[in-house]
Amino acid sequence: TSSFKSETVFFSPLVIYSWQSLIPDLTSAGLVRTEDGVNYLDLDSLINLVQENKTWGDINSNELRGRISISSTDPSKSSSGNLFSALVLNSLLEKSGNTDLTPEVKLEIRDFFSKMGLLDDSSGDIFDKFLTLGRTTYPFVAGYESQIIETINAGTDTSQIAVLYPEPTVWAEHELISLNSNGDKFLDAMQDTEKFKTIAWDRYGLRMTGVGVDTSRYENFGIAKELRSVAPLPRVEVIEEVINLV
């Protein structure tokens, strides 16, 4: 009889990537506040602006023109898009005062994601496009915190990028599944070896349970030492219904 052992080993919070040049106007509009060098995003307010087709001019910004937009991957094909859809759902439910997916909320979700146009399939692809095409095409992109740390470590110039921590955010959990005794040893080693825990954060930006992170080397990039507000994920069947709407 086959058996397996599984543990959630790594975590990375969902963040919203934007641009340093937009931070002053986003701050003036009440969308972003900065504490100890870390940018926190009022995601509910940003979602409202997107829903209402507000423009950059509506928030008194001359940096960009046209409608304010936010981009994510396809929730049915990418976990970052899936997690972002959970945040959008939580926001819409709270605003409506409902706890269930009413026809009105379903319509809002479908409309919100339809504004994004064609959705990318992978977190890596959309992040690469964000870096390449810039703020006009991608003023806001949902992704993993680990992506900016990997990019910094690769030597890429990230001085123009702003990391925004939505309040609340959600955790992306990375699970390791062991299928045999050798796998069990590897799983145990990854959880217990202090050196490995350091490598996981320093090289790949992955957080681990019960382990603090040293953000000093990233202090110029606005990486949070700890998260202040994390939302629970909706039930699996609710997320599946949301995916079918997008």
CA 98, 40, 129, 134 dihedral sign is: positive
pLDDT (0 to 100) of residue 210: 66
The token duo for 138 is: 């991608």
pLDDT of 30 above 80: yes
| Residues contacting residue 51 through CB under 8 Å, at least 6 positions apart | 108, 111, 112
* Cα separation, 8 vs 208, whole angstroms: 9
pLDDT (0 to 100) of residue 10: 83
Q: What is the mean pLDDT of residues 21-47?
A: 97
* Cα separation, 78 vs 182, whole angstroms: 30
The mean predicted confidence, pLDDT, of the chain is 90
- The pTM (predicted TM-score) of the whole model is 0.91
pLDDT (0 to 100) of residue 57: 97
Each residue's pLDDT tens digit, 193-246? 676 777 888 888 888 876 678 888 887 899 999 888 998 888 888 888 998 888
pLDDT (0 to 100) of residue 20: 97
pLDDT (0 to 100) of residue 1: 40
The token duo for 44 is: 């509910």
pLDDT (0 to 100) of residue 7: 78
- In the chain, the amino acid numbered 73 is T
Closest CA to 171 of 200, 196, 203, 144: 144
Give the SS3 label for residue 177: strand
Instruction: Report whether 172 contacts 233 (CB < 8 A).
Output: no
Helix (H) or strand (E) holding 48: helix 43-51
pLDDT: is 246 or 20 the higher one? 20
